[in-house]
Structure 1
Amino acid sequence: MCFFIKPILVLIVTLKTIYAYDGVDVRFEVEKIGHKRLIIKAFERSTSLFSQTVD
């Protein structure tokens, strides 16, 4: 019986997390531009929120 309780609880928490973010329309893009450089971009729908270059 104990073998089934933990997986069921994990499933419930996972489903709650999935439904909590169901209506969010935000995306992130990560682009590698060099050996140790990345560009991180965030968008809300089609609006750009920020663009950051990191080393």
Structure 2
Amino acid sequence: MVSPEAADAAERAVSAGAGGTVELDTEDGRITVAVPRIVYLKRYTKGSQPGFQSR
């Protein structure tokens, strides 16, 4: 999980087709990600439960 600001920064870098890296502060510490290697971003609010619901 990352902060909304970190997610915004990663999304902007991918959308701009930027090269290089982006640093993300996560719950597990800081990581550096190569922007050209990002192929998937998923955004959801903390506490939401991904998965299926029964009706």
Q: TM-score, normalised by structure 1?
A: 0.24
The structure with the largest alpha-carbon Rg is 1
Greater relative CO, 1 or 2 (CA 8 Å, sep 6+): 2
Which protein has the bigger strand share?
A: 1
Q: TM-score, normalised by structure 2?
A: 0.24
Which protein has the bigger helix share?
A: 1
